[in-house]
Chains A and B, each alone.
Chain A
Amino acid sequence: MHSRLQLQSTPSVAIEVNNLGVSLIDGTTIVSEISFSVLEGQILALVGESGSGKTTIATALLAHTRQGAKISQGEVNVAGLDILKLDENALRRVRGKQVSYVPQNPSTALNPLITIKTHLEDVLKTHAPTLAAAQQQARIINTLKDVELSHDHAFLNRYPHQLSGGQQQRVLLVLSFITRPRVIVLDEPTTALDVTTQAKVLLTVKKLCQSYGVAAIYVSHDLAVVKKIADHVIVLYGGRIAEKATAADVFSHPQHPYSQGLISAIPDIHLRAIPMPIVGNAPSLQSRAKGCVFEPRCKLATLTCKTIVPPLDKIDTGDDHVVACHNLSRQTDPFSFNHHTETLKSRVIQLGTQPPLLEVKHLFASYDGKQVLKDVSFHLKKGECLALVGESGSGKTTISRAIAGLNANAAGGLYFKGQSLALAARSRSAAISHQIQYIFQNPYQSLNPRQTVRQTLLNTVRHYFPDKLKDSDEIITAALIRVALDPGLADRFPKELSGGELQRVSIARALVCEPSLLICDEITSALDVSVQAAILELIKSLQRNGLSIVFVTHNLGIVRSIADRVLVLKNGAVVESGEVDTLLDQPQQPYTQELINDSPSIVDL
């Protein structure tokens, strides 16, 4: 990359941001003191968890804020023009032409009533009206070729819903690159995609930026993805820059305690370790600390951190490496990944030959008249964690729902503790159904918004164990403590809790049922990385206490950190299964190999 750029003339600065600040109308700061610049052809990643202000900064680069907020100070210079000083008309000419934007969710970003061709022509008509028709067509075809999309008549006349998610995202890339902008802002463009598709889209973005000399601002919460693509990384926390460095520096020796925590919190396919959570929750806009924003969650915090905002200081070791922390000198041992050195004795061998807790035999299922499961069989022992892995549409959620008795169109044999299990939850006796509990992906819809945590848990106790009702207070308190929640939260409503807390309450509700099998359906995919690590830790500890777990996920890093055995699924059938380390280190099937190769990782091999 560097050699390439040196061959060309020295790249000039494409975008320069100085002291950018965005606040709510009432003056509450959302982000402040954001300064950076990006060279042509380079990619800068803005990394942070929810509430860090990354999307706010991204949209501010197009002089836009969400309703109720305003850009309070700073300048954004693109091609010698301060975008923040432009009026609406001038802005309309700059947006899309000089600075373009790729949104997060491709399925809602394209107009469903307009063909791909019309989408592309509209953009050119607006931003390059002087282009002749033939040149227009040539530009469209070239850019489509660049992103490896077909450019024949049939494809151009398709409507957005006729494309796959990856194709839709590529069309969006074409839309933003076709005007040959100087800067492109990508807001989590691959979050909605499968790993394999994601890997290909990332490669395309990198290639396009280099060949057209476009500076890219890449917003993401996923450090592993960032490592694949970015030249520079800015780690954001609480609306401020915590650390800014080259990608290599951030991943090899992160300096800010938050960056270090974030990196340790990522479950990685190449690390045999349980990720380490960062204690606490990200602060809301109103509850940010006066001094260093990270102080309440920081292990190194001192009195100075409480009162004085740390300035961004340059570090001697890396070039252009700045960190906002008072305690850099106090960090003695250099940061390292927590590799597991000891060889863990395989849990699968430890569990031995005891009879399986759950057996699935020749399970078939359909959804909307389509066959989504074809003859799936597997078993699960007491205390074992089995991961179901596959891309979207592989049938992993269908299996877990069938076990829970939520799929009306399932057929086949389910055996629980040696006894046949009814396929519909309603036909199961309470003595059985309390033992199988399901945790859903979306914590925000898993709890009845009109019931307090206590009411939710109480209803469960009343339903399954009416004779224990007199001890309900103790049961509820014990369950909340077991999921590491303050029992004082019992009288809160779901909307007063954070995503991580809600997911813990969902787990507490399952624990109140005294289950022996817990089905976890992508339970961390809606959560921040640091919170995800804490939930994984909790699940792992429950497993150590003898709970069996079926863990559905698309993230192989999570699989490595908590699963004992893995079932790889494709198109509703089992492709490969086996013990976790064996399967991930020596995959036998090409599909498994592809999944593993496409999984983003933070470790250099």
Chain B
Amino acid sequence: MRAIKQFFATSNSQINLGLFLTTFILLLSILGPWLSPYQAQEMVGARYSLPQTGVLLGTDYLGQDVLSRVLHGGISIVWMSLASSLLGLFLGVILGLIAGFFKHRIDQVIIWVADIFLAFPHLILVLLVVSMLGRDKWLIAITVAIAFVPGVIRLTRGLALSISKHEYIEVAEMMGYPYHQILLREILPNILTPLLIHLGTMLSWSVALLSGLSFLGYGVAPPEADWGLMVNENKGGLQIQPFSILIPILFIALFALGANLLAEGFGRKFSRISESNKHA
């Protein structure tokens, strides 16, 4: 509780900027459809026409309004990246806790499977699944989540291993507390901080992965609007109407940057708080 108070008492420019950027992108993508002047698929002018009154950011390769498509195209990447990161964290933490606490056989099996998964590059794994099973958004989010799981398992397992050497875990073991209580009540709260920091990192990875997927044509299907997809659609017009590409790239970058700053700021902050507590 005191750590939380201490946390909000002192300000940190890194966290503030990260918080500002992520909130901005979040609000933009949620409220975007209501703010946009046109529908996402509405043709408003000639192909690749430069910004002018009524069409603030110009048009794209089909003559659709770039501003409207940017405002409509955020929500899919935002929810997919959030969902995949949270799901990946959830699954990874559970498996990692089990591996780190029970050790021996269970640990070996879990780590063995995780290592095999870890050997695949994330992007290849996702491309493989999507090309085989189709480009359903939930399927993509779940696949990305699964790609994250081995890393989370590795992290959680290491943390759980070191915590389970502490005497209060031995006390719980000696008293015969049920396993789920030891894992969730005794161990998890003590390793939450690094896990939350990892969540921020995963968020920025998933933004990059998902937008890359859309760019490659395996993500969101046209004619729907999506930032990654827009980069792909308009790549032919980069020299004629650069806004059609640069604006979606800018928003993708801001979201990834915000998540990253948040993660890093939290990390530094927490390590400083725990350090100052040690001295007290």
Interface residues of A (CB under 8 A from B): 68, 404-406, 425-426, 428, 430, 433-434, 438, 440, 442, 445-451, 459-460, 463-464, 493, 495, 509, 513
Contact = CB atoms under 8 A, between A and B. Distances in A.
Contacts of A493: 1-2
Contacts of A450: 189-190
A230 to B, nearest CB: 31
B171 to A, nearest CB: 7
Given A459-B185, A493-B2, A495-B277, A448 B168 contact: yes
B119 interface: no
Nearest to B278: A495
Given A446-B168, A446-B171, A509-B171, A433 B190 contact: no
* Interface residue SS majority, chain B: helix
A425 B176 CA distance: 7
Interface string B55-70: 0000000000000000
Contacts of B173: 406, 425-426
A450 B166 CA distance: 13
A445 B166 contact: yes
A433 B170 contact: no
13 contacts: A68-B279, A406-B170, A425-B173, A425-B174, A433-B176, A438-B174, A440-B171, A442-B167, A445-B168, A449-B190, A459-B177, A464-B175, A493-B2
B190 to A, nearest CB: 6
A430 B176 contact: yes
Contacts of A495: 277, 280
B186 interface: yes
Contacts of B277: 495
Nearest to B170: A406
Contacts of B190: 448-450
B174 A445 contact: no
Given A425-B173, A451-B189, 9 more contacts: A404-B174, A406-B170, A438-B171, A445-B167, A448-B186, A449-B190, A450-B189, A459-B181, A463-B176
Nearest to A442: B167
Q: 4 shortest A-B CB distances, which residue pairs?
A: A450-B189, A440-B167, A446-B167, A445-B166
Contacts of A513: 175
Q: Choose among B167, B190, B277 the residue with the greatest number of A CB atoms under 10 Å from its CB.
A: B167
A426 B168 contact: no
Given A449-B190, A450-B190, A495-B277, A434 B168 contact: no
A440 B177 CA distance: 18
Nearest to B179: A426
A299 B168 CA distance: 37
Interface string B240-280: 00000000000000000000000000000000000001011
Contacts of A448: 168, 186, 189-190
A433 B174 contact: yes
Contacts of A463: 175-177
Interface in B219-257: none
Contacts of A451: 189
B196 to A, nearest CB: 14
Contacts of B171: 438, 440, 446, 509
Contacts of A442: 167
B160 to A, nearest CB: 14
Contacts of A68: 279
Contacts of A430: 176
Nearest to B168: A448
A63 B251 CA distance: 54
Contacts of B177: 459, 463
A434 B167 contact: no
Given A449-B190, A493-B2, A460 B176 contact: no
